[in-house]
């Protein structure tokens, strides 16, 4: 298993742990509902998407009977996806508690990084899966 595949799976479980603790805290203290976006996206981009990236990178090329076309892009995507997610949610949290347009703008820039990581996955997977096998 490639290192970045393992890292995606491990970090996704870490995000599940953090987001579940935040979910419980939101139930206990309604003022934390201001962080619903943080909770939902730690889950959806952290836990769910990163688990799918890890399992997808490992399994989908095997279905197609060929190796992943660009493992280096996979490694890069791991870093871009994590820096994008943590940055987007950190600055969103700062804006939630100390409203400041600058924090929200920085959150958007990290969000664009997150979208870039999705494009890297999309490109790598299609480049691996689409070519017809030589018969
Ligand atoms: C122990 C685990 C969890 C707890 C305690 C928890 C708690 C919560 C709470 C309190 C809310 C706010 C609900 C409201 O608006 O009234 C919420 C929203 C949400 N949670 Fe969780 N959650 C947990 C796990 C998950 C998981 C595993 C996922 C996804 C894989 C998830 C996805 C969402 C989403 C998408 C929302 C936003 C829903 C909306 O806007 O209506 N949560 N959660
Ligand atoms: C770069 C990626 C993404 C960005 C920038 C993004 C951004 C947003 C924003 C700005 C909202 C509105 C939040 C609010 O009402 O305060 C939202 C809501 C939501 N998004 Fe995303 N999203 C992304 C990816 C995803 C993915 C991959 C999923 C599902 C797998 C998802 C599921 C949802 C859901 C269920 C809601 C409604 C719950 C909530 O309000 O938190 N999003 N998203």
Residues 95/107, Cβ–Cβ less than 8 Å? yes
Closest Cα to residue 92, out of 134, 41, 50, 51?
Answer: 41
Residues 74/55, Cβ–Cβ less than 8 Å? no
114 within ligand 2 shell (Cβ under 6 A): yes
Answer whether residue 21 is part of any domain.
yes
Q: Compute, in angstroms, the gap from residue 69 CA to the centroid of ligand 2.
A: 30
43 within ligand 2 shell (Cβ under 6 A): no
Q: Compute, in angstroms, the gap from residue 36 CA to the centroid of ligand 2.
A: 10
34 within ligand 1 shell (Cβ under 6 A): no
Reported as a pLDDT band with limits 50, 70 and 90, residue 132 is: confident
Tokens of 6: 């393992």
Answer whether residue 20 is part of any domain.
yes
Mean pLDDT in the chain?
A: 96
112 within ligand 2 shell (Cβ under 6 A): no
Answer whether residue 91 is part of any domain.
yes
pLDDT of residue 135: 44
Reported as a pLDDT band with limits 50, 70 and 90, residue 133 is: low
What is the residue with the minimal CA distance to atom 4 of ligand 2? 111
Tokens of 120: 């890297």
The domain containing residue 29 runs over which residues? 3-129
pLDDT digits (tens, 9 = 90+) for 40-84: 999 999 999 999 999 999 999 999 999 999 999 999 999 999 999
Answer whether residue 135 is part of any domain.
no
Number of domains in the chain: 1
Answer whether residue 97 is part of any domain.
yes
What size, in residues, is the chain? 135
For residue 109, give the 3-state DSSP assignment.
helix
Sequence-distant (6+) residues with CB within 8 A of 117 are: 77, 80, 81, 84
């Amino acid at each position: 298993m490639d290192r970045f595949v393992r890292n995606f799976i491990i970090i996704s479980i870490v995000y599940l742990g953090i987001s579940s603790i935040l979910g419980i805290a939101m139930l206990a203290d309604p003022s934390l509902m201001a962080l619903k976006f943080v909770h939902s996206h730690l889950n959806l981009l952290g836990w769910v998407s990163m688990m799918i990236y890890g399992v997808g990178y490992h399994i989908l090329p095997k279905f197609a009977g060929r190796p992943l076309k660009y493992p280096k892009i996979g490694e890069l995507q791991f870093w871009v996806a994590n820096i994008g997610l943590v940055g987007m949610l950190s600055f969103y949290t700062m804006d939630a508690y100390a409203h400041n347009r600058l924090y929200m703008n920085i959150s958007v820039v990290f969000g664009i990084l997150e979208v870039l990581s999705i494009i890297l996955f999309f490109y790598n997977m299609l480049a691996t899966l689409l070519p017809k096998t030589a018969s």
